[in-house]
Structure 1
Amino acid sequence: MRKLTPEGQDNRRLVYDLWPEAGQMLGLTKNGAYAAAKRGEIPTIRIGRLLKVPKAAFDKMLEEAGAR
Structure 2
Amino acid sequence: MLAAVVGPLLGASVLGALILHLLAGLVARLPTSDALGALSVMAGSAVVLITLLPFTLLSLRRAREVWAAMQDSRRS
**Scaled by the length of structure 1, what TM-score is found?**
0.27
**Scaled by the length of structure 2, what TM-score is found?**
0.25
Question: Which has the higher Rg, Structure 1 or Structure 2?
Answer: 2
Q: Which has the higher contact order (CA 8 A, sep 6+)?
A: 2
Give the number of the structure whose residues are more often helix, by fraction.
Answer: 2
Give the number of the structure whose residues are more often strand, by fraction.
Answer: 1
